[in-house]
Every structure is written in C-alpha cells, then in structure tokens.
C-alpha cells in the first residue's frame, strides 16, 4: 500500500527529496506539466512561423480564426486533420507505414527528459530539481536518443512504396548520417571543458565562467549548422524539397499521420533550441549574476531562471524560422560537401586544438577563470577568421555562381571550343 502520509511529512525545503513515494509523485507531475507545455508549444509554433513569415514578407498572416490575431488557427488545423480521411497506398507496408510518424516524433520528445529548465524549487517535501530525469549520463542519453529520429523518416520513405517518398528517405538518411557525426563531434569540447556528462554539471560549469558560446564558439557554429541539417530546416530541407520531390518522405501520408511529421519538425526545432541554450548559453543561468546559482533556492529564483531558459530557447527557435524565410536551399552536392569536407574536419581539428590548449594552460598553471576564458575566446576568434576568411572562399563549398574574371571565362570557352573541334575531327 502506498504510504500517503509520506507526502504530508514536512522536511527541510533546501534538502533533496528522499522519500520514494514523494519522488515518484513529483516525477509524474513534472512529466505531465513538461510534455503538456511541450505539445502546446509545438502546436503554437505553427502559428508563430506563419506570423513571422508574414512579418518578413510584409503581409498579415492568419487572421480569420480566433480573432484578429488568428490564435485558434492551430486548433482549427488540428480539427481539420482529425476529420480528414486516412489514406494508405495499396502496396504500402502497413505496420511500418503506421508506426513511422510516431518514430519520427517520439525521440524529440524523449530528449526533454534530461534537460534542466530551471533552478531547484523548494517545497514542503524537499527540493525539487526542475528536470524530469537528472541522469548522470544525460549528455550521452541525448546523443543516443536524438539519433533515432532518422528511422521514422527512412521507414516512411520505404514503407510508402512510392519513388518520390523513397528518394526523400534516401536523401534524409544520407544527410542525417553526414551531419550527425559533426553534431556529435562538436559536443566533445563541451565535455572536455566541463569534465562531466551530466547536464546540470554543464550548466554549473558555465555559471562559474563564461558561457560556452564564447569559450567554444567554433563548436557552437558547427553544432548550430548541424542542428539545422538534422532538423531538415532550410537551407538543408533537401529530403522534403517540395519543388523536386513533391513532399519527400511523407508524400503518401494524410490526416493525423501527416500532422505527426509536421509536429515532429517543430518539436525537433524546440528540442534543438533547448539543447543549444543548455550547452552553449548556460541553460537557465541568468547572465551577469551568481545569485540564481547559490542556496537558498526560492520560488522567485525558480520563476526567473525558468523565464531565462524559455527566452534563450525561444531566441533559437526564432532564428530557425528567420533562416527559413531568408536563405535559399542548398544544392545536394553543396550539402554533402559541407558535411564531409568542412564540418567533420573542422570538428575534429577543433577537438585536437582545444585539448592541446587545455593541457598547455594546465601545465603553465592557468586554472579556469577570467584569464582562462579570455584565452579560449581569442583562440576561437582566430579559428573562425581562418575558416571564413582564408580557407573556404568558395573553393570547398562551391557557390551556384562563379567569381571568375571575364578574361578567364573567355579562355575557358576558347579551350572548350577547340576541344569540341578536335573531338569532331576525330570522329
């Protein structure tokens, strides 16, 4: 029988929860609250994207459902998709066709289990950590679970038995494998600097020094670009290129199965924003103050840190939407070239450089602190200058246009004409 009296026992508000029953009850409460808000956020992001795109393009956006602001548009879309007929190709693999949308959505939702979203909350039953599951290997859990999202997309493309869907699935698997390696490599510098794979420890390390976006700027750039590619967001939306593959891997889907893919994209976007906020912007840490990281913890600290975390996550989500309505899509050769010839070598080289720098700083007696962070910041600035100014210049990731001078173009055309004459004479 569950000892209900354990919930009524008053203990030190600053001490961790020790009772098994109390721990289970608070875990269930956190689970319900977090994933309810998560699902509502994913739905409202569809409205946010329409409003932001309308703002960028100088138009109104949705304004018919739910008043002038169109706030009920996501609800109207949901009702429409529930009422639509579920269609399924006759030659599709029925079990895999049905399970693929769920496999695409669930990994993005599970990652949130280990992301801390606020400072501990003091309660009459003890201190409640604002994370669903504070795993000691939370960082590795994120990498493992996030990599499962590709299976839903690949199965959707294959199970539909449609050539457009199949091509979309192949593109997606190649793209996500290519950028997943760089994504994982870009997180190794975080572990080197924090010395721990627990998410709360990574936040604590940033709260006592500069945020990783300054300490590890190169890793942040690689992670951000790889996150765009992993989420199939513009300019990396090749798997669902509407102008080439109709809708890619979900061509044959309709009603709520199609909506699950749509929701999964926005859920992944929120998850990526939360990850970048946690790994590179200090998570729930309020900048320029240490007040929020020290005991005693209060309800005010919890509210302010939660608001800070949501603001950082919302900023990255806004940037994702902004990029979609600003940049054109990559060519497929550009996408693969960027992943294997730029992102992966940069991530590997930066790991070696950072590890060497940390060993040298430790050997000469410079411990983590302002000087330590300033040296890492200067190192990252130098690396980015080399990458963006001296190394690429359109030679590795070739642009869609040429920068050749007019004289060089004339010589190339003359050489091509003479080669055609020679080949014609040979025939």
Q: Quick check: is 173 in a domain?
A: yes
Q: Quick check: is 352 in a domain?
A: no
Q: Global pTM?
A: 0.85
Give the span between the Cα atoms of 275 and 89, in whole angstroms: 37
Q: Quick check: is 366 in a domain?
A: no
Q: Quick check: is 306 in a domain?
A: yes
Are 129 and 225 a contacting pair, CB within 8 Å?
no
Q: Quick check: is 427 in a domain?
A: no
pLDDT at 216: 94
The continuous run of DSSP H or E covering 96 comes out as helix 94-111
List residues bridging with 121 in a β-sheet: 128
Task: Note down the domain range covering 119.
Answer: 4-347
pLDDT at 6: 47
Q: State whether residue 16 is helix, strand or coil.
A: strand
- Phi and psi for 76 in degrees, rounded to 5? -65, -40
Q: 265-279, 328-342, 367-381, 411-425: which range is least confident on average?
A: 411-425
Q: Quick check: is 314 in a domain?
A: yes
Number of domain units in the chain: 1
Q: Quick check: is 272 in a domain?
A: yes
User: pLDDT tens digits, residue range 386-424?
Assistant: 887 766 655 555 555 555 667 777 787 888 888 777 776
Q: How far lies 5's CA from each of 2, 8, 236, 372, in Å?
A: 9, 5, 55, 51
196: tokens are: 């721990």
Sequence-distant (≥ 6) Cβ neighbours of residue 35 within 8 angstroms? 109, 112
Which pairs count as long-range contacts for 381-385, CB under 8 Å and 24+ apart, including other chains? Answer: 381/217, 383/217, 383/218, 383/350, 383/353, 384/217, 384/218, 384/221
Q: 40-44, 67-71, 398-402, 418-422: which range is least confident on average?
A: 398-402
**Number of neighbouring beta carbons within 10 Å of residue 114:** 23
User: pLDDT tens digits, residue range 232-277?
Assistant: 888 887 766 655 556 667 778 888 888 888 888 888 899 999 999 9
The continuous run of DSSP H or E covering 126 comes out as strand 126-128
- Phi and psi for 127 in degrees, rounded to 5? -85, 125
103: tokens are: 């496999």
- Phi and psi for 125 in degrees, rounded to 5? -100, 5
pLDDT at 396: 54
Q: Quick check: is 371 in a domain?
A: no
Q: How far lies 101's CA from each of 107, 157, 160, 326, 410, in Å?
A: 11, 11, 12, 28, 53
């Amino acid at each position: 029988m569950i000892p209900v009296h354990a919930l009524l026992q008053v203990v030190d508000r600053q001490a961790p929860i020790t009772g098994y029953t109390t721990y289970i009850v608070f875990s269930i409460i956190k689970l319900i609250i977090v994933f309810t808000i998560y699902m509502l956020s994913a739905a409202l992001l569809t409205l946010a994207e329409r409003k932001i795109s309308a703002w960028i393009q100088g138009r109104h956006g949705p304004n018919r459902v739910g008043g002038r602001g169109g706030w009920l548009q996501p609800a109207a879309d949901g009702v429409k998709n529930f009422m639509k007929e579920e269609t399924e190709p006759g030659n599709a693999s029925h079990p895999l066709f049905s399970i693929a949308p769920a496999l695409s959505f669930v990994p993005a939702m599970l990652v949130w289990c280990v992301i801390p979203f606020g400072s501990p909350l003091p309660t009459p039953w003890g201190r409640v950590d604002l994370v669903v599951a504070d795993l000691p290997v939370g960082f590795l859990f994120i990498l493992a679970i996030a990599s499962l999202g590709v299976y839903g997309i690949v199965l959707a493309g294959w199970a539909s038995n449609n050539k457009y869907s199949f091509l979309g699935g192949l593109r997606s698997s190649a793209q996500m494998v290519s950028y997943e390696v760089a994504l994982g490599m870009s997180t190794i510098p975080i572990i080197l600097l924090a010395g721990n794979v627990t998410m709360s420890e990574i936040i604590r390390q940033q709260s006592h020094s500069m945020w990783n976006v300054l300490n590890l700027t190169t890793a942040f750039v690689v992670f951000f670009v790889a996150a765009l590619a992993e989420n199939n967001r513009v300019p990396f939306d090749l798997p669902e290129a509407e102008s080439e593959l109709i809708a890619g891997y979900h061509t044959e889907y309709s009603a709520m199965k199609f909506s699950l893919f749509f929701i999964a994209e926005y859920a992944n976007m929120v998850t990526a924003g939360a990850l970048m906020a946690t790994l590179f912007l200090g998570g729930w840490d309020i900048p320029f103050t240490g007040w929020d990281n020290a005991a005693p913890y209060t309800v005010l600290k919890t509210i302010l840190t939660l608001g800070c975390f949501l603001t950082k996550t919302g900023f990255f989500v806004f940037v994702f939407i902004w990029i979609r309505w600003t940049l054109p899509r990559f060519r497929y050769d550009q996408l693969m070239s960027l992943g294997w010839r730029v992102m992966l070598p940069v991530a590997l080289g930066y790991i070696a450089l950072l590890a060497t720098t940390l060993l040298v700083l430790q050997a000469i007696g410079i411990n983590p602190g302002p000087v330590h962070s300033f040296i890492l910041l200067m190192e990252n600035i130098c690396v980015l200058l080399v990458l963006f100014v001296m190394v690429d210049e359109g030679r590795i990731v070739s642009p869609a246009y040429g920068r050749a001078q007019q004289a060089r173009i004339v010589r190339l055309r003359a050489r091509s004409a003479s080669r055609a004459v020679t080949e014609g004479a040979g025939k």
